[in-house]
């Protein structure tokens, strides 16, 4: 980075000055967070990353993560190579439990209640996510399908974009992104938004591209570094948010939910021995 200082603009140097000596902190910041802390625009951060030879901010963070001294620390906080396996198990256990507890504390009850209202008022609900968050979207589809809601989710980014284009002011798009900066997810939500659909964002970062599109933001714990993709703690945090939404909706439409749960159970009854 120092070798590029002379080629940086005044604004880009502000980013460099902030980043210097804060590498561990940068791993857990969204592009919006870094821009605000460095007192520059998001485009300046992206230009800074490209000046250093990276395609974008995520690739820059990945390079920082590769330079981390303890690769195990990128997996679960304070795990050390010298830990006995029982101690490692306990630390992983604490990390996963903490993800649920912290998520419950991060969610605004009013926002959660509003999200439940939006789900119940929507004709169609589409879930969006990429990578592990895409699997979370499929989990959400499975849960809400069982209680009779018209829901859909796809792992293909082209299908996501096309599905978002079919939404209207009567529909709802729900996006999952731990970083809040996943391009495919943000792009799909932007298409849904342009078609006047309501948007709910489920992310770890309150200040990130995904939250700028959202009517309601539900924060979850379980942040992860670039080399930590697929963190179970982050996955558990997302599933916990789904469970809160699902439970809230099911309680509001108790009779309908029970009716469709029974129908769904009967439909797959012959699929088990």
Residue of 20, 30, 7, 10 whose CA lies nearest to 178: 30
pLDDT tens digit string along 164-196?
A: 999 999 999 999 999 898 999 999 999 999 999
Question: What strand order describes the sheet that includes 151-153?
Answer: 151-153, 125-128, 172-176, 198-203, 216-219
CATH-assigned architecture of domain 2-66: Orthogonal Bundle (1.10)
Please check the confidence at residue 5 and state whether its pLDDT lies above 90: no
Residue 174 tokens read as 């729900």
What is the per-residue pLDDT for 67? 61
Query: Where in the chain are all domains bearing CATH 3.40.50.10490?
Result: 106-266
Residues 6 or more apart from 215 whose CB is under 8 A from it? Answer: 114, 118, 198, 199, 200
Q: Is the Cβ–Cβ distance between 203 and 219 less than 8 Å? A: yes
Q: Where in the chain is the domain with CATH 1.10.10.10?
A: 2-66
pLDDT of residue 198: 98
With the C-alpha atoms ordered 189, 194, 198, 203, is the resulting torsion angle positive or negative? positive
Is 90 exceeded by the pLDDT of residue 4?
no
pLDDT, one tens digit per residue, over 66-91 is 665 444 444 445 566 677 778 778 87
pLDDT tens digits for range 127-156:
999 999 999 999 999 999 999 999 999 999
Smallest CA-to-CA distance from 118 within 254, 216, 237, 239 is with 216
- Does domain 106-266 fall under CATH 3.40.50.1820? My reply is no
């Amino acid at each position: 980075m120092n070798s590029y200082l002379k080629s940086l603009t005044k604004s880009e140097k502000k980013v460099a000055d902030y980043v210097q000596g804060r590498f561990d902190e940068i791993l857990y910041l969204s592009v919006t967070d870094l821009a605000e802390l460095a007192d520059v625009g998001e485009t300046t951060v992206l230009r800074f990353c490209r000046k250093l030879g990276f395609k974008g901010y995520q690739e820059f963070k990945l390079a920082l993560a590769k330079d981390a001294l303890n690769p195990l620390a990128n997996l679960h906080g304070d795990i050390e190579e010298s830990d006995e396996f029982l101690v490692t198990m306990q630390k992983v256990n604490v990390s996963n439990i903490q993800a649920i507890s912290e998520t419950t504390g991060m969610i605004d009850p009013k926002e959660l209640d509003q999200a439940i209202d939006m789900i119940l008022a929507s004709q169609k609900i589409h879930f969006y996510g990429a990578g592990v968050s895409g699997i979370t979207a499929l989990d959400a589809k499975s849960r809400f399908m069982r209680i009779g809601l018209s829901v859909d989710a796809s792992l293909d980014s082209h299908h996501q974009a096309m599905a978002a284009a079919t939404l209207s002011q009567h529909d709802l798009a729900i996006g999952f992104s731990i970083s809040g900066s996943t391009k495919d997810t943000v792009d799909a939500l932007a298409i849904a938004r342009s078609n006047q659909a309501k948007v709910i964002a489920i992310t770890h970062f309150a200040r990130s591209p995904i939250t700028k599109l959202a009517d309601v933001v539900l924060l979850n714990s379980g942040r992860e570094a670039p080399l930590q993709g697929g963190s179970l703690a982050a996955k558990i945090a997302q599933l916990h948010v789904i469970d809160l939404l699902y439970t809230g909706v099911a309680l509001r439409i108790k009779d309908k939910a029970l009716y469709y749960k029974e129908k769904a159970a009967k439909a797959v009854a012959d699929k088990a021995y």
